[in-house]
Structure 1
Amino acid sequence: MDLKEIEETARSEFIWFHQHPELSGEEVETTKRIRDFLSSHGIDMYDTPDLKTGVIGKLGNGKGPTVAIRCDIDALPIQEKTDLPYRSLYDGKMHACGHDFHAVTLMGIALALKDEPIDGTVQLVFQPAEENLDGSRDVLKTGVLDHTSVIFGLHCSAMYKRGTIITRPGAMHGATATFKAVFHGKGSHACRPQLSIDPVLMVSSFVMNGQTVISRNLDPFHSALVSITHIQAGTNTNVIPEDGFAEGTVRAVRESDRAYIKNRLRALSEGIARAYGGEAEFLWEDGSPATNNDPEWAVFAKDRALALRLPFAEAPDNLAGEDFAFYQQKIPGVFIQIGTGLSPKNHNPCFRVDPDTLHESILYGKDLALAALEKLRGKKSD
């Protein structure tokens, strides 16, 4: 198949994937579609019985270095509001982050590489459950990537014109965490506040003072945030409740800052509760670490874009979470975005990608894999 035929095949698959979104961990039909596609084109797959959804394909003779390309395949619980003729057929589910585009890009890359004489191995990682941060760790548990030399993660971007390649060395996405501060007081009738220990005041004070961790405790040149997104206390206008809570998310580029914010928020919640005569419970859950693009391979990814005469942009600061970072804790890797045309941003019900970008994404992915194998063979011979 020539590149035009591959693009047409990928576009047809893209329409199917966009119409049939499946949420994290539920990508059963998505997985079957990918398996059937790879099998029908004679592309081998690893045996991964512990991976409930998702697929890992492979190409090459297996005698040289190993390169992996990862895409994600899950959708979001969002009601699509685009006017696309191929919009989601499933109520309340949408590919609002471009994972349908990622999947078919990797399928197209597989077809483009299928007849190449590959001295080594190219692993095709169709990863499930990126949105809940479980998928990459499940893939790593299979052991399939234990001897992988470098991994590339491909992701669309609605902030750039079609075909733009975006990456940079070092941190590109932030480390994430979620927290919940629960305040216990004493309830009373609202007309007798002197008999209460008011959790509404504790929650309110925590919401206001939580922001001082960023504005007064962290280096102002460090990228980090605390977003309190859900507060709750009470059910009636004339009752002071016994309990209340505030919860939200933390983002930070530096792991030390994420740990520091955790300790400060805990201390604030406990101190505020004591000041009002109540008690506090502080709950914290780490999400993904910050992505950490290998400097040498990030320059390589940029150079391959320029060699193909694709537009290139240095990635801006971004505190969005990305579970590709779990791969990078074990394997040198680079997270790369591809501009798919300007549109409402990811996770928006009107988000869309320009499927014509499959031309650039498949071309770039194929080149990236072959050039990386060549580079690794050169290193070995040195």
Structure 2
Amino acid sequence: MGQTLNEIWTHLHDNAEISWEEFKTTEYIVEQVTPYNPNKIETFDDMPGVVVEIGSGKPVVGVRADMDALWQEVGGVQQANHSCGHDAHMTTVIGVFKQLAEKNLNGTVRFIFQPAEEKGNGALAMVEKGVADDLDYLFGMHLRPKQELSSGEFAPAIIHGSAKFIKGSITSADTHGARPHLGINAIEVAADMIHHIRQSHFDPLIPHSIKMTELHAGGKNPNIIPGKAHFALDLRAQQNELMDAMSEQVERIARQLESLHNISIELETGAHMAAAVYNEEATALLDEGIQAVDADSRRAPITTTGGDDFHFYTLKRPQVKATMLAIGCDLGPGLHHPDMTFNFDAIPKAVDILSEAVEKALSQGGERA
């Protein structure tokens, strides 16, 4: 298999790139797959990302990995950092490719290395490139924190919730600190927004949350009451219908505060990831893959409040039967923590599980034909 999985992961981890800048990562993946002479290696002029194909004919089974890292402070230094495990996802899919490239396949396997999952719009860009138009099945994967799965455990579906990121701006005029009655303090308006959001109540049986994750106001002069502020909201809901209700509530709060203070509040949705509606047939195939490799490691599908733009493939192309492998790997302290670590021993087994599932999906497609 050339480089070992650990060597591949080490390179990807040490050369992380943020969303829409994964060009060197793209080049590295091309280098990894080229010696196997796949039928197709496709890159794009206007964005990073790679699509690789082996085999031929129907069915067409996809395997997707996300490529981007986060920009965060690590050890006092701001840098690209794979604290969400996308380096492990790419390593897994490269491993599946190398394992299947040497087999006679009853159909086509399409490996999709997708940029910008963290921005919530990478999958949509790949859909626009046509990579899902003729897919029958699609398998993804994600490392899971130890709060969800123990090390060495695998689940055949991740039931993600919906996520939405809203950027906002509050616009009034600055005023002198000695004359607060002459203006509106944008920081206080933001505080009012937080208060009203926290006083909004939705069905407690459905996991959900709304929180302000950014707030920028004021400058170098503490005697100026800032009239402008910029903020961001992170919304999570386990069901798409609840996300709609929460979004409407945020809009109502903004309009009410706008009227109360006679100011302008603008809201803009930066990204919106829909809640998962997983496919039972694809999940059953992945379940069979887990049991074929290690039946004792199999766990039931897990529900998580996290989001993933993977689900846009099925929302935009409803014919695609998709699911995601949940990989238990002793991940801690948590996803997106700058010091996140995980047990790499889970990756070779994830490669075997996904390879089994892909071959079972190819066989299933052949039986239908």
* TM-score normalized by the length of structure 1: 0.86
1:351 pairs with one of 337, 340, 347: 340
Q: Distance in 2 between matches of 1:130 and 1:273?
A: 33
Match of 2:193 in 1: 206
Higher strand share: 2
Q: Structure 1 residues 135 and 192 mapped into 2: Cα distance closer, same or farther (>3 Å)? A: closer
Please report how far the alpha carbon of residue 78 of structure 1 lies from its aligned counterpart in structure 2 after TM superposition. 3.1
- Where structure 2 has 5 or more consecutive residues not aligned to the other structure, the ranges are none
Taking only aligned residues, the RMSD between alpha carbons, in angstroms, comes to 2.4
Question: Cα distance 1:363–1:197, how it changes in 2: closer, same or farther (>3 A)?
Answer: closer
Which AA in structure 1 matches 2:5?
A
Q: How does 1:1-382 map onto structure 2 within 5 Å? A: 6=1, 9-50=4-45, 52-60=47-55, 62-80=56-74, 92-159=79-146, 160-168=149-157, 172-213=159-200, 216=201, 218-235=202-219, 236-310=221-295, 311-329=297-315, 330=317, 331-380=320-369
Q: In structure 1, give the amino acid aligned to 2:38.
A: I
Task: Give the C-alpha shift of residue 324 in structure 1.
Answer: 0.4
Post-superposition offset of 1:67: 0.6
Return closer, same or farther for 1:247/1:115 CA change in 2, 3 Å cut-off.
closer
* Whole-angstrom CA distance in 1 between matches of 2:172 and 2:3: 63
Q: Which residue of 2 aligns with 1:84?
A: none
Deviates more, 1:339-348 or 1:265-274: 339-348
- Distance, in Å, in 2 between the alignment partners of 1:30 and 1:112 is 21
| Separation of aligned partners in 2, 1:74 and 1:185 | 37
How many residue pairs get aligned? The number is 361
The alpha-carbon distance between structure 1 residues 141 and 161, as it changes in their structure 2 partners (threshold 3 A), is same
**Contact map agreement 1:163 1:361 (CA 8 A) in 2:** no
Q: Could you tell me how far apart the structure 1 residues matched to 2:231 and 2:13 are?
A: 36
The SS at the match of 1:307 is helix
Q: Percent identity?
A: 23
| Cα drift, residue 317 of structure 1 | 3.1
After superposition, the Cα gap between the structure-2 partners of 1:256 and 1:48, relative to the gap in structure 1 and judged at 3 Å, is same
Is contact 2:331–2:340 with CA below 8 Å preserved after alignment?
no
How far does the alpha carbon of each residue in 1:24-77 deviate from its partner, in whole angstroms, 9 at most, with x for none?
2222222112112211122232434446322111111x1331111111122222
Q: Tell me if the contact between 2:156 and 2:290 (Cα under 8 Å) persists in the aligned partners.
A: no
Determine the C-alpha separation between the residues in 2 that align with 1:32 and 1:299.
34
Partner of 1:251, secondary structure, is strand
Q: Normalization by structure 2: what TM-score?
A: 0.89
Is contact 1:7-1:359 (8 Å) kept? Answer: no
Distance (whole Å) between structure 2 residues aligned to residue 140 and residue 353 of structure 1? 31
Contact 1:291–1:328 under 8 Å retained in 2: no
Q: Which amino acid aligns with 2:89?
A: H
CA distance in 1, matches of 2:2, 2:275: 33
By how many angstroms is 1:150 displaced? 0.8
